[in-house]
Amino acid sequence: MSKPKTKGKPSAGKAAGANRTRKWLKSLAEMEYKKMILYPLVVFLLALILLAVNFPILGIDLQGGVVVTAYGVDANPDQLAKDLSAKLGVDVRVESFTGVDTKGVRVYAPVGTDPTEIIQIMRETYPDAEYTHSEVQPTFGEIAQKQGLRAIALAFIAMAVVVFLFFRHPVPSFTIIFSALSDMAIAIAMMGIFGIELTTATIAALLMLIGYTVDSNILLTTKLLRRKEDTVEDAYLSAVSTGFTMSTTTLGALIVLWFISTSQTIDNIAIVLIFGLLADFMNTWVLNAGVLKWYLSRAPRGGSA
Amino acid sequence: MKKRTKRLLLNWRVLLLILFLVGSIATLALKPLTFGIDISGGVALVAQTEHPVDSDTMQLVVDSLQKRLNTLGLRDITVEAQGDQIVLVKVANVSTAEQANQIKAVIESQGVFYMEFTGTIFGTGNDIEYVGIYQIKPDNSWAVPFRISKSAAEKFAELAYGKVGWPVDMFLDPPVNSLMVVPDSVYRLMNSTEFNAEAPEAPTLMERIGKAFNITVVSYANQSADEIAKLAQGKDKIVLIDVPQDLQNELEKMNLTVRYIPREPGESDHQIVVKALGLYGPYSLGEGLTVGEPQQDVQITGSAPDRLTAEQEASTIYTVLKSGSLPVKLTVVGMEFISPRLGEDFKNQALYAGLAALIAVLLIVYFHYRNLRIAIPVASTSLFEAIIILGFAALINWNLDLPSIAGIIAAIGTGVDQQVVITDELLSGEKSTKITRRASVLKRMGRAFFVIFASAATTIAAMSFLLVYFVGTLKGFAFTTILGVLIGILITRPAYAEIAKYLLGED
């Protein structure tokens, strides 16, 4: 069916460019499956420990509070926090941020503070700034928290059911589900380290992660289980090359997004996805691959999905 | 070669893509996109009812809020119920933070209005269909005419039969299901005929509010906070009137809801009762209403010592009747204000970010395959996908907010992933051994689409819960993600597969 080669076919150019990666991938392909399973599990446990000691801070939309954002303000956040705290009589926290064409600060104040008062005080020093504010009561924060948890739990279960329906084998299905769980855990642990708040937006990003990370796992599992004309190593290499292309394009797009946007919502969604995708590199191509190798070596005729 | 091109263009999958693309561009040209508050500027408020309500009540809340905000002269208002306790109010074209706060105050000042007779609630604010202009007569008596619903009129006619001069009470935000702790003098007053209009034989105010609102009144006799807490079991809140204020702190420490009402200088027992209960009246029942005939057009009358007081009393009742039409109390639990200028910035940024991400995809795909014949179709298919999603959003008037835009980006991200899967399956035919080559294009495509459908199904399954269960702004995110994935698997992915087969010479 295939036609004779025409010029500019990708296989030739690619091989020249990515020799070192190839070698590394080859060593991955030949790695012993016990190690492949062990290392990611250690990372997962580390993430869990990190989560236990340093869980990300809840954003104001999940625990209540007031935030005033001023755009077009170039201020020393510590000094501003001191000034505002003194004038308002409550402790405020100030964070500065830089976008492509604008600088600004975000002022976080406890529940019950009047945002218009903060704006009034700031207007005295920065009359030309553009202000926005939002405030959330703890009761609503609680509702949002509960719903966030419920959304994640249900989405996870739904994903698990769909994966199971598609593959119908407990070991591969369970590994995909576990990979997604580990991706999420690592992403949340990274959020804790980098001080990214858990908000409704980042919860959305975590849910999105389910979709993204399951992609590459499904690809790998499909190739390894369904592609019987190749050896396991060859199938793995072919899956890895596709998977890396997938992940790098997505990562590239997300990094660009993160750089350009000054919207906190989009920034946070992008960064959490970046964390998750990085974690997924390991969980798919090392952990899941290791389990599948072990699974296939144990039951050579196992995959008929 | 020409024949192949023609065959590609006439392929139904490619035709479908072209059709949708043209349709979307036409839609976008005729019907511009509408943007959410976080882009167009404005204020978004999340209000919560004091307890969960059924869907009929929720609809009443939505309707009356809409009406009330309309009368303020605001434009572009959407009021939307989410679940059984949350109402989302969005008002565009709000340019200052102060204006935003005013809207919040209006929503919160909406009272819950009850009409009560002999301890039975016969109507609420929603039964008031019309309020007429009040009149003041030369003898300083006043009258506020209004019309109540048929069902309230019928209920009232039955209750009021033969009870000339009995008290009719109206309440705005009474402390429903509460324990009231009052000084002994107030207790005795409420238990007397003071509030009985011209009918000493009618139940006392204390009996009426007990039956109608489950308000229990106790006389304060140096009870401890523990004793009061015990009495308040099963009640929503405790109302402390003119008792030592320490009690409030102690009770609040026990996680109880407490409202403290101090006595203002010179305030009488009568005044403090009226204030604590939000009581208007009692009004003495006129003879015309006691014959058992339902009457929808009724009026409240009263008399005052001078014209100014008469005017004040009448206008208060007028306002209460007119605005106190929410079936349940609302509290604003969250608000977000974005100035219109800033929104414009966000919109441009989202556009630039989207285009930049697209270029990034183009470059990365090019570097992977070193082949523009793959990179250009991948990037343009993603662009087409975005256009179709936007066209669809314009068609159904979906408000694009920042999360929705994030969702579009997410959908495009998975789209690129899946195109890579298709491309690699097509390419794998030629770089492998003879055995592989025997696996037909069809089989390889089957494998690619198995991966695509499995991942699309998981994304849709995961996101549909977000769409159904979440309140607030993330619905937009879930909606556009699902929409994008659906458009992807139904329209753009099959078309891309055909185009890629053509370009890579595999058809």
Residues of B in contact with A200 (CB under 8 A): 470, 472-474
Whether residues A254 and A172 share a domain: the answer is yes
Residue that wins the pLDDT comparison between A162 and B475 = A162
Kindly state whether residues A255 and A116 are assigned to the same domain.
no
A233 with A285, same domain: the answer is yes
The confidence score (pLDDT) of residue A267 equals: 84
Asked if B413 lies within 8 A of A140 by C-beta distance, the reply is no
Q: What is the CATH number of the domain that holds A76?
A: 3.30.70.260
- Rounded CA-CA distance A186/B40 in Å is 36
Mean pLDDT of chain B: 84
- Looking at A136, A156, A190, the residue that finishes a domain is A136
Tell if the CB–CB gap between A208 and B345 is shorter than 8 Å. no
Which residue type sits at A165? L
Q: What is the CATH number of domain B1-36+339-504?
A: 1.20.1640.10
AA identity, residue A209:
L
Closest residue in B to A139 (Cα) is B333
- d(CA B109, CA B131) in angstroms, rounded, equals 19
**Mean pLDDT of all residues in A296-300:** 72
| 8 A C-beta contact, residue B48 and residue A139 | yes
Looking only at the bridges linking them, the beta strands covering A103-109 and A65-71 are antiparallel
Closest residue in A to B458 (Cα–Cα): A159
User: What fold, for B42-109+326-337?
Assistant: Alpha-Beta Plaits (3.30.70)
- With beta carbons under 8 A apart, name residues in chain A contacting B362: none
CA angle B234, B240, B242 (to 5 degrees): 165
- How is residue A212 written in tokens? 């993204």
Q: Which of B86, B437, B454 shows the shortest C-beta gap to A2?
A: B437
Check whether residue A132 and residue A233 sit in a common domain.
no
> Minimal Cα–Cα distance from A248 to chain B, Å?
7
DSSP secondary structure, A33-45, as one string? HHHHHHHHHHHHH
Chain A residues in contact with B368 (beta carbon < 8 A): 10, 14, 245, 248-249
Q: Where are the alpha helices (DSSP H) in B293-371?
A: 307-323, 340-369
A172 found inside a domain: yes
One fold for B1-36+339-504 and B42-109+326-337: no
Residues A110 and A69 in one domain: yes
Task: Give the domain ranges of chain B.
Answer: 1-36+339-504, 42-109+326-337, 110-312
From the number of C-beta atoms within 10 Å of its C-beta (0-12, 13-18, 19+), residue A49 rates as exposed
Q: What gap in Å lies between CA B88 and CA B37, rounded to an integer?
A: 12
Is A17 a member of any domain?
A: no
When divided into structural domains, chain A yields a total of 2
Q: Are A53 and A124 in the same domain?
A: no
Q: What is the pLDDT of residues A174-205, one digit of tens each?
A: 999 999 999 999 999 999 999 898 988 888 88
Q: Which of A93, A116, A136 is the last residue of a domain?
A: A136
Residue numbers of the domain that contains A256: 32-58+140-298
Residues A224 and A247 occupy one common structural domain: yes
Is the CB of residue A2 less than 8 Å from the CB of residue B432? no
Verify whether the Cβ–Cβ distance A263 to B349 is below 8 Å: yes
* Residues A226, A89 share a domain: no
Q: Is the peptide bond before B145 cis (omega within 30 degrees of 0)?
A: no
Last residue of a domain, one of A136, A168, A199: A136
Which residue of chain A comes nearest to B354, CA vs CA?
A257
> pTM for the complete prediction?
0.70
> Are B368 and A211 within 8 A, CB to CB?
no
- Buried/exposed code over B231-249 (b: 16+ C-beta within 10 A; e: otherwise): ebeebebbbbbbbeeebbe
Asked if B345 and A132 come within 8 Å (Cβ–Cβ), the reply is: no
Residue A105 sits in the same domain as residue A87 = yes
Chain B hits for A113, CB-CB cut-off 8 Å, are none
Spell out which residues of chain B touch residue A238, defining contact as CB-CB under 8 Å. 424, 428, 432
**What span, in angstroms and rounded, lies between the C-alpha atoms of B293 and B20?**
64
pLDDT at A11 (0 to 100): 43
Q: Tell me if B146 sits within 8 A of B302, measured CB to CB.
A: no
CB of B140 closer than 8 Å to CB of B306? yes
Under the banding of pLDDT at 50, 70 and 90, the label for residue A66 is very high
A119 Cα to chain B: minimum distance (Å): 8
> C-alpha A239: how far from its chain's center?
22
What is the per-residue pLDDT across B54-78, written as a single tens digit (0 to 9) for each? 888 888 788 777 766 765 556 678 8
Q: Is residue A1 part of a domain?
A: no
For residue B151, the tally of other CB atoms under 10 A from its CB is 12
pLDDT tens-digit map of A120-154: 888 888 888 888 888 888 888 888 888 888 888 88
Residues A115 and A212 in one domain: no
Around Cβ B175, how many Cβ atoms within 10 Å?
Answer: 23
The predicted-structure confidence for B308-349, as pLDDT tens digits, reads as follows 888 877 877 777 777 666 777 788 888 888 887 777 777 787
B8, B82, B38: which is closest to B347 by C-alpha? B38
CATH at residue A194:
1.20.1640.10
